[in-house]
A and B are shown apart, each in its own frame.
Chain A
Amino acid sequence: MSVGLEHYLVVSATLFCLGLFGVLSRRNLLVLYMGLELMLNAANLALVAFSRFNGNLDGQVIVFFVITVAAAEVAVGLALLVALYRKRRDPRVDELTLLKS
């Protein structure tokens, strides 16, 4: 049995769904962030797989961009997270309902 594009995509989709599930269900902001990274990397995996099977490098270029932007995003995100934690002494997201009122 040869490993085809479908297998990569299935793995990528599974990872993405796991990441999404983490984002939606976990309460701790830090774990939520990890879910987010998982979703990004699932997308990266799919892009690399497409790049490999289409025989060009477009996908891989996008992946580099994604990694770069993700690094920046994580830096900003973690900074926010720390600031928020310092202010509220509570990492749980479901307490953050300031948007409602």
Chain B
Amino acid sequence: MALDEILLWTLLFLPLLAAAIITLFTSRRRRLSAGISIAAVVLSFLLALVVFAGFQADQPREYALNWLSLGDFAVQFGIRLDSLSMLMLLVVTGVAAVIHVYSWGYLAGDPGFSRFFTGLSLFTFSMLGIVAANNFIQLFICWELVGCSSYLLIGFWYDRPAAADAGLKAFVTTRIGDFGFLLGILTVWAALGSLNFAALQERALAQPGLITTAAGLLIFCGAAGKSAQFPLHVWLPDAMEGPTPVSALIHAATMVAAGVYMLCRVLFLLNAPALQVIAWVGAFTALLTAIIATQQNDIKRILAYSTLSQLGYMVLAVGLGGATPAMFHLTTHAFFKALLFLGAGSVILALHHEQDIWKMGGLRQKLPVTFWTFLAGTLALAGVWPLSGFFSKDSILALAAERNHALLALALLTALLTSFYMFRLVLVVFFTNHRSAAAGRAVETPPVMVIPLRLLAIPTVAAGFLGIEYFVARQFEPQAAARLSAWGQLVFPFQHAPLAALSGLAAAGLGFLAAYQLYAGAKKEPLESRLGAFGRAVQNRFYFDELYAATVIRAHEFLARAADWMDRWLIAGLGVRGTHGTTELLGRALRLFQTGNVQTYAFLFALGLAVVLWLALR
């Protein structure tokens, strides 16, 4: 076994080991539990860095164990190491490490402290399992494990009904997508006879036609569930009921990106019609959720809708055939969205769990570190040069400009709205005067929370010109990939597709101006009165939850009631209780004969004998 292989396996299983140790042995010792969990993930990150140091992009490697053999069908548990998974390994372990440390501060004193870190470690393992997977089965298993740990962590404060419901909603909604995903996997297996990615890549090229489209769309169902694309986007905003580090790690940086990662991983399976659908779904989700984000008042919900919108961007990029821009945006988004969520968490904690932005205000002086890092995240998300978000968003815009102008228009509109709602958030939360007593008394959060913010601010600013795009491009477009110096990367968007870059910047600028006009010094939401019915619809998230409650949930309840009736009256009533009742009735009737009197028995005996004799002698 090569050193490399040992490192990779260790990296993968360390978080699982931590979760097991905490659950089995140390769950009563809170600080020790947290220490184990944090040590495991930091060690994983360091190991990922070591692997990265010896990494060669032109030689994808695969290590696998045979896990299950059924005839000639073998399920492997393996690790596939190429540019795609290497990048994700670094992002997942890196962001997870920072957020683990932050959680120490955020959840200090919570009675479920150890349980929380078990969940985080389990999640980290499952996510690494998805990233490393070399076949569909392993990917699917880890996919479900991720969903399970997400459920556990959303419902971490399980005594709050809202949190418990949100966990359930997230799990069930993603399960609906996963059902399609499973069907897609089975379709692929039936059509191509293998589930190993490397084997599939060789065979897929020779398989055009309807079945490929169907398989592609079914697989996209899974991605749509996990990455919360329309129409399965409803779970993500509710998932904000979980603790803020969970929102940052799972519902912003890593798990929701798993869908995009998976699509990039199996990009060769998706043909033109499937990609077309994926692109439009992505663009539509991006725009729809950006509109919703402009009228939300809960700081975490705004960020949640923003996440949805950015995921829509990534899916749009995949749909346009651009795995490189999608992965690039995924990476930068992981950094700046984790930063934004942790910043929001810092604000929430400083205000003693107040999440309504209209009760904040004037926090710029009181939480300086939070403010500056949050501002960096906002600028990156809005797409301001030279922060990371600008480059990744621009690579998507440039791709759209090249391939489909209608989608480019949608993407630009989304960019404008993104800038608008983010600056609205910043202006309302950090500027003007405090609107509540809690905001007036706020003080900066402890170093264990502030240091992660500073750490995440570094890649948020710099990830755009560190060569991430080139790193991924070597796998997907080996001919086109060109290595540029840092300065070359800084000016590349303006040379490559100046129109897209400038219009992206213009959209960001317009969004800022609109937000400044409306929200600088605002005491309450100024748009509420002006937008009327449309504004109310936006505030109520276009009534998607109500629509689903009236259709999907009601239909489901009807089915459940029908099944319940069947069970209660046909199976239990007629079947089980019927059989038991008949037997008992017969038994009661027969008991009448058993008087205990010898003479009765003798009489019955004689009677029987007489009957037999009569029958025999007749």
A-side residues, CB < 8 A to B, are: 20, 23-25, 32, 93-94, 96-101
Contact = CB atoms under 8 A, between A and B. Distances in A.
B596 A99 contact: yes
A93 B596 CA distance: 10
Given A24-B602, A97-B595, 16 more contacts: A20-B606, A23-B599, A23-B602, A24-B599, A24-B603, A93-B599, A96-B597, A96-B598, A97-B596, A97-B597, A98-B596, A99-B594, A99-B596, A99-B598, A100-B597, A101-B596
Nearest to A26: B599
B610 to A, nearest CB: 10
Contacts of A94: 597, 599
Interface in B584-618: 594-599, 602-603, 606
Top 7 nearest A-B pairs (CB, nearest first) are A100-B596, A97-B596, A99-B596, A24-B603, A24-B599, A97-B597, A94-B597
A15 to B, nearest CB: 15
A13 to B, nearest CB: 11
Contacts of A93: 597-599
Nearest to B603: A24
Interface string B426-464: 000000000000000000000000000000000000000
Interface residues of B, number: 9
Interface of B: 594-599, 602-603, 606
Contacts of A98: 596
A48 B244 CA distance: 107
A24 B602 CA distance: 7
Nearest to A94: B597
Contacts of B606: 20, 24
Contacts of B597: 93-94, 96-97, 100
A81 B603 CA distance: 21
Contacts of B603: 24
22 contacts: A20-B606, A23-B602, A24-B599, A24-B602, A24-B606, A25-B599, A32-B599, A93-B597, A93-B599, A94-B597, A96-B596, A96-B597, A96-B598, A97-B595, A97-B596, A97-B597, A98-B596, A99-B596, A99-B598, A100-B596, A100-B597, A101-B596
A48 to B, nearest CB: 22
Nearest to A96: B598
A101 B597 CA distance: 11
Nearest to B598: A93
Nearest to B594: A100
A95 to B, nearest CB: 9
A20 B599 CA distance: 10
Nearest to B596: A100
Nearest to B606: A20
Contacts of B602: 23-24
A96 B597 CA distance: 6
A98 B597 CA distance: 8
A93 B595 CA distance: 13
A72 B597 CA distance: 25
Contacts of A32: 599
Nearest to B607: A24
A77 B249 CA distance: 92
Contacts of A100: 594-597
A93 B602 CA distance: 12
A32 B601 CA distance: 14
